[in-house]
Amino acid sequence: MAKFQVTQLNPKRFQASQIKFLVILLLICTVMILPIIYIVNQAFKPLDELFYFPPQLFVKNPTISNFTELGRLARTTGLPWIRYLLNSLIISVVYVIGVIFITVLAAYAISKKEFRFKKVLFKVNQLALMFVAVAVAVPNYLIISYLGLMDTFWVHIIPSLAVPVYLFLLKQNMDDGIPKEILESAKLDGANDLQVILKFVVPLVKPAIATIAILAFQSIWNSGGASLIYLTSESLKTLPYYLGLLQASAGIKATGVAAASSLIIFVPNLIIFIAMQSRVMNTMARSGIK
């Protein structure tokens, strides 16, 4: 009687058959990590190395002169840099909480509730995915001016709370990850919609919520547009705007200051993504995004 050797599709221990996959993954990881290596090396390059052509990936003579120049310029401004940093932190935290609150409620309504024009509203949301920020800049400005948000702290937060792609991601996860039977059982036990969301929906879609939190933090943390367009009070502006202002006043050393500023802005994004990247990958896979 012939014997057949059964090979596991995903063996727990290392096998020779895995080498080809490891090589491919190593090549992909190398390509993807190059931008991070470049950003870090750029920040520590002296001015002459920053102007090499063709550009060099690795720094030859590391220096912190770009950061010291950034600090020197910061001491010449009217407000301390810590004020801009504090503004960015407060805005980021409030914005992330607001985005999660609004997106969870909207996704739950579209995914699990029945009402008129439900499909039309979701189609409108999908249509909104096609528009870039530049295309709606003028309408945004007119609406913000009409609502009286100009030169206020909330201009950083309120105009960006409703994000179509976040609603799409969370709605898809609720469709696939939350059986209607669980919600129906909760309703039979007397739970209202808010209790259902807090006790059943949120725990089941935590990976998607974590993904939205990461994306929302990155978008608001890196943004200096509101400070430039809608604000005149210096005390309400954010760190990216402030670093851009220092770069503009750096003269011949602007390239080095820009490199140091880019690393400062980039590090919090990298830390948060590394800490929560497994949840991001899980969410993207369940949402059907390849």
* Residue range 45-87, pLDDT digits in tens: 888 888 888 888 888 888 898 898 888 888 887 778 888 999 9
Is the pLDDT confidence value at 1 over 50? Answer: no
**Contact status, residue 257 vs residue 247, Cβ threshold 8 Å:** yes
Domain of 121: which CATH number?
Answer: 1.10.3720.10
Number of structural domains, the chain? 1
Residues whose CB is less than 8 angstroms from the CB of residue 148 and which lie 6 or more positions away in sequence, other chains included = none
User: Looking at residue 111, what is its pLDDT?
Assistant: 86
Phi and psi based region of residue 123 (left: phi greater than 0; alpha: psi -120 to 50; beta: remaining): alpha
- Structure confidence at residue 275 (pLDDT): 78
- Answer whether residue 290 shows pLDDT above 50: no
How many other C-beta atoms are found inside a 10 Å radius of the C-beta of residue 270?
14
Q: Are 238 and 156 in contact (CB under 8 A)?
A: yes
Q: How confident is the model at residue 225 (pLDDT cuts 50, 70, 90)?
A: confident
* Position with higher pLDDT, 115 vs 100: 100
Residue closest to 153 by CA, chosen among 213, 227, 207, 66: 227
Asked, as a colleague might, if the bond just before 54 is cis with ω within 30 of 0, I would say yes
Residue 37 lies inside a defined structural domain of this protein: no
Please check the confidence at residue 288 and state whether its pLDDT lies above 60: no
On the question of pLDDT at 28 being above 90, the answer is no
User: Residue 135 belongs to what domain range?
Assistant: 72-286
Residue 2, in any domain of the structure: no
**pLDDT of 18 strictly over 60:** yes
Q: What is the mean pLDDT of residues 6-25?
A: 69
Report the 10 Å Cβ neighbour count for 24. 10
Q: Report pLDDT digits (tens) over 259-281.
A: 888 898 998 888 888 877 766 66
Q: What is the pLDDT of residue 88?
A: 92
CA torsion, points 65, 71, 77, 79, in degrees to nearest 10? 160
Is the model's pLDDT at 238 over the cut of 80? Answer: yes
- For the chain, give the mean pLDDT: 83
The residue behind tokens 């140091």 is 260
Q: What is the mean pLDDT of residues 165-189?
A: 84
Q: How many residues are present in the chain?
A: 290
Per-residue confidence at 228, pLDDT binned at 50, 70, 90? confident
Residue 49, domain member (yes or no): no
In-domain check, residue 54: no
Residue 23 lies in a domain: no
Tell whether the model's pLDDT for residue 94 goes beyond 90. yes
In a domain, residue 57? The reply is no
CA distance 45 to 48: 8
Residue 36 domain-assigned (yes or no): no
pLDDT band at 211 (very low <50, low <70, confident <90, very high): confident
pLDDT at 133: 78
Range with lowest mean pLDDT among 1-15, 107-121, 208-222: 1-15
Quick check: is 21 in a domain? no
pLDDT of amino acid 284: 55
Question: Residue 88, class by beta-carbon neighbours within 10 Å (0-12 exposed, 13-18 middle, 19+ buried)?
Answer: buried
pLDDT class for 9, splitting at 50, 70, 90? low
Q: What is the pLDDT of residues 110-144, one digit of tens each?
A: 888 888 888 888 888 888 888 887 888 888 899 99
pTM value is 0.82
Q: What is the dihedral of CA 134, 137, 140, 141, to 10 degrees?
A: 160
Strands (E), the chain: none
